[in-house]
Structure 1
């Protein structure tokens, strides 16, 4: 098995972060809208909020890793 080229994986990370941020935002907005229309209890809205926060925190951590790698 061959090792992946670090240049290729380094160029894919920013795109992945952008997709995760955009997807998380769309899913969060959709979840809030659908939850409001269906009258879901607040605990499910909180669950959607926590999932969105996890996605954004992951994106921030990976963005920091990309920034650190570019400075090295």
Structure 2
């Protein structure tokens, strides 16, 4: 799933039971997982296991490509 962010866009603090791998296709993001924040740019990725709280802030306009295991059927229904 591709998610486009405007500069300053936020994916609010959340938690889910799916493992997640995210790839930064464009832009710069501050990513917080389990209270630790890292700044990631194009070509970077991060992995989060199921359950921890996380959030993302777009430092610049950008695109994240996310994959989930098991898949997120709630996202499939909105696309």
Q: Shared topology, TM-score over 0.5?
A: no
The structure with more helix, counted as a fraction of residues: 1
Normalised by the size of structure 1, how large is the TM-score?
0.19
If you compute each CA radius of gyration, which structure gives the higher value, 1 or 2? Answer: 1
The structure with more strand, counted as a fraction of residues: 2
